[in-house]
Structure 1
Amino acid sequence: MMKKKMHYLLLGLAVLFPATALAAPTGQALAFTCAGCHGTDGSSVGPSSPSIAGMDPEVFIDAMQGYKFDERNSTIMNRIAKGYSEEQIKSMAWFFAKQPLKLMPQKHDAAMAKLGARLHDEHCEKCHEDGGKPGDAGTLAGQWMPYLHYTMDDFIDGRREYPRKMKRKVDAAIEAEGDRAIPALIHYYGSQH
């Protein structure tokens, strides 16, 4: 009787093993590779890496595809993104979308943040709703200020293509407040936590 049970147990394991060996890694397992820069749950603790927790899955997928096909400027993400399949990218996108965004307080200039809030309301709120909180246009609220600064430099210097309508809105904010516009917006987004 014991020999027969062992036979069935081994037969069952033999049937299950190939399915287990072929199972794709989960979004969570794949996301561990992002932890060094973006935090274990997508909430970055480093000033030059964005938080990706709570990110709209389509925004994540678009960003990764942009990196993968060298359509988006980066120091290292282009190489990293090339290593993932479309399914793996989707799996990570859904994992990060479900993670709560944890924001860290940052030093900011209150007067600049106040000006930035006004500029946001006048020029950015339509796409970056609720003060730039996570949504289908990405997350601005609470992102690290150095990251926002580097990203805006990439847009303004032509290293990154502006999304639809963004250039016109940024130009209008700069026309309204000159050289203070971008720093004011950065202080406003960085002031939120």
Structure 2
Amino acid sequence: MMRTFMFVVVAILAGAASAAERSASMLSYACAGCHGTAGASAGDSLPILAGLPREYLSNIMLQYKNGERYSTIMGRIARGYSDAEIDAMAIFFEKQKWVSAVSQLDPKMIARGKELHEQKCVRCHLGNGQYTEYLLPRIGGQWSDYLTIYLKNVNTSEFKQPQPQLMKESLSLLTDEELAALAQFYAAQQ
């Protein structure tokens, strides 16, 4: 009798875990139109989500949901999810394999971007932007166009974006061409 009871409990728990995984996977389908299947974005102005840290993804989505982060679309989408659903999707995307973007890049821009990275960004964005942890996203291998747009907008007044002060200060000193070079350098990191 006790064996049967334990078997039933284990089966129920396994089923619940499986249902939670399916639910997170199903929730992520809403993201596929822009961010690609399993977070492997095929759009050069939309970020890759696959493999990014759960904490980072949850934090960003909650910032969109609460209006703390500028967006044209993401705020409206995020408000449709509970905090638990956002966390479930973040866990799902964290488990997916990173697939680097394939961008058309200029070797001279990449070289200039490397210089800028070493001068301004290397303290936080280790491994040429491929290192990721907690609230620090991987940017190495991300789409060049997405990174260029993002970097250019960090210091604009209408682009409400929670960022470390050091990053804002460093980026404010760069020209648009230098920001594009930095983006190309990171995009080249496969």
Q: Shorter-normalised TM-score: what interval?
A: 0.7 to 0.9
- Quote the residue 2:170 is aligned against: 169
Change (3 A) 1:59 1:43: same
Contact 1:73 1:154 in 2 (8 A): no
Q: How many residues align?
A: 171
State the Cα distance separating 1:160 from its structure 2 match: 2.7
Give the structure-2-normalised TM-score: 0.81
- Quote the residue 1:75 is aligned against: 72
Aligned partners of 2:176 and 2:80: how far apart in 1?
A: 39
Unaligned 5+ runs, structure 1: 1-15
* Greater CA drift, 89-98 or 123-132: 123-132
Aligned partners of 1:78 and 1:161: how far apart in 2?
A: 13
- Quote the residue 2:48 is aligned against: 51
- 1:156 partner letter: N
2:62 to 58, 61, 65: 65
State the Cα distance separating 1:34 from its structure 2 match: 0.7
Identity of aligned residues (%): 36
State the Cα distance separating 1:101 from its structure 2 match: 0.7
Change (3 A) 1:134 1:38: farther
Contact 1:113 1:191 in 2 (8 A): yes
- 1:114 partner letter: A
Contact 2:151 2:171 in 1 (8 A): no
State the superposition RMSD in angstroms. 2.1
- 1:34 partner letter: C
2:138 alignment partner, SS class: coil
1:174-193 superposed matches below 5 A: 174=174, 178-193=175-190
- Quote the residue 1:12 is aligned against: none
1:38-187 superposed matches below 5 A: 38-133=35-130, 135-136=132-133, 137-158=136-157, 159-164=159-164, 165-172=166-173, 174=174, 178-187=175-184
1:169 alignment partner, SS class: helix
State the Cα distance separating 1:104 from its structure 2 match: 2.9
Unaligned 5+ runs, structure 2: 1-11
Aligned partners of 2:86 and 2:114: how far apart in 1?
A: 34
State the Cα distance separating 1:162 from its structure 2 match: 4.7
* Greater CA drift, 154-163 or 72-81: 154-163
- 1:151 partner letter: Y
Change (3 A) 1:76 1:179: closer
- Quote the residue 1:3 is aligned against: none
Contact 2:130 2:189 in 1 (8 A): no
Bigger-Rg structure (1/2): 1
- 1:157 partner letter: T
Aligned partners of 1:134 and 1:88: how far apart in 2?
A: 26
Aligned partners of 1:114 and 1:147: how far apart in 2?
A: 19
